[in-house]
Structure 1
């Protein structure tokens, strides 16, 4: 399915709070905070010239978040950043002065952290980031997971010392249960989806994602003309689209949001013209994107700066995982999890459909920007789908680089 943005808000400026959240100054703050994170390093920006030639575009660049902060997902940038911000604000109130991120490990700030419990619901990656952030600052974390979260992903979160709480039902039901228990126990919800009256913390999570855009723009020879990016509740898409719109202004790229067909809450919201909750149906293999209710803040941004909305099918996600693992000659291999290559799947669908290609003005001069939002966060499932382990794919790529 494909839909151009014809909403009244399209191409209107972001409202001031969203422009401040996703602007250059905020992104600079995120990068400064990253300097205080263990294992911080800029993630790779891969060029795929052979695939670009095959699709008839000038270039394709993929920001590979499978290498981010040892967590294997772009979500490492958001949840932990929000936890750090919230701690520093709480410490500032308790100590009666402004507290800088450089004081994160001071005894006074650690003492405040020990009084805090942060909580969230997750499909896997966001919860891992919140748990890592809590461990970093010395706070407690309670992470709520639904039955679709694999045991391997649960274990990856638990290793940061988080209390794991199982919830029957969908991701959205786990979000509501986390909010209910957190309110009763005085915990702080650090969610990546916003609800009426709950916008600031999801905004901080989105703000964390702007770092990957700044890193990519520094490395690309020219800014992109097109962006295809996957969408769950909308946070990553809104962060990338909003930041690029602010930084590039009238030269901003054409932005296409890509949903799984089985969990297309942003697509259906765009079709309806207002936020809608869609029915829970057959699960999608794109587990990190299996969301049925959009984030209100994310939608507010996307309604203005997204140009098109589209969906891909299950087989598209599988196919692109395999293609990235075994690329055209000369292109690097990329380990992409079930949700990681969805933006590329959207590009490939658009490039092969003359009507969509024309609507998005894709041609031989187009410069495409994509984000591999996750690596093999469930290595067993990755090997089952791709036929090789993540390590084998990475090793092949390393051997190719040495040749």
Structure 2
């Protein structure tokens, strides 16, 4: 601006010097004295020289300065710098490029003056569904390598030309390739992040080389797991594309990369997608169908779990009944075993009692035999009638007392093999009584 103003001042001053002799009577020209004309020319020259020698570098902008004598330099720091009437090519450090879906009034809305904004275009996915894709891309230039920056500025001349001829074509090609790699249904089913990843990778490292392939039909399970049907898919007969790989790495188109220009992709995302009306209708129907399917699935799962609950309740009742019966069985078994043990112990006790009673009986028998023998000896010795009467009295009292004290067992089991050797107690007492009577008769006869 100062350059143009200075040149105008110089032209006006020179013109006044030329035409003033021909208009001597003009009062206006008389106001421009010789000194004023010279001062105006000098000021104009200074203004044009100063503005041509220096420029102000704005922050966030790199400048390629091309001098008239052929050399050039890069200026990346803000402030006043020399340009010496050279040419300036300003390029921002980061170049925001946006595709925006216009509103109903066909307006793009409020945007920054530093961003390059265009209307979003329609792109076709692999299943032929079209949509306008709004993207936000930020490209960073390489200011660390001065030679590369100057080369990019020299080849593209202006920042706008760099964006239009280099960056936007790469963005469009990346979107086109990425749309070929997936269906619209795949995008809304969870592959949106893959779309962004493919989009950014192609922008930064180069476009993928795509190859056609025949899609195989997928088998879908209908009903329970034992009933499997193959659902024909007409879309599978269309052309499908996938990334071509070599040695595990994707094959890329040569010479079609922003990295070759020293540009780095800072951001590349899809901000919005406006599907065509036909797909919106189909998508709405699909959402309703999915909602209905989910509802039926939930109902089926509810019935299934209800049946499982009834089965579990029946199993629990059976287990409780089984436990109750097993408990009763165990109680009865324990009671029977207890009775058997008690009977066994009673039998052992009775046997011991019998053995004790038998031993006592034998003892009493032995004592009775000894007493009978003693009595017989005394009789044989010859007693006086008074002594014999006293002896008989004492003997009868003693025997009666022993019979009274004697307790015979209620049950007596006799061993047949020993009947001749061991007589029972009753026989012994009867024998003793007979012996006494015989001795009495013998004594009376004498």
Question: What TM-score, normalized by structure 2, do the two folds share?
Answer: 0.20
Q: Which has the larger radius of gyration?
A: 2
Q: Which has the higher strand share?
A: 2
Point out the structure with the larger helix share. Answer: 2
Q: Which has the higher contact order (CA 8 A, sep 6+)?
A: 1
Normalization by structure 1: what TM-score? Answer: 0.21
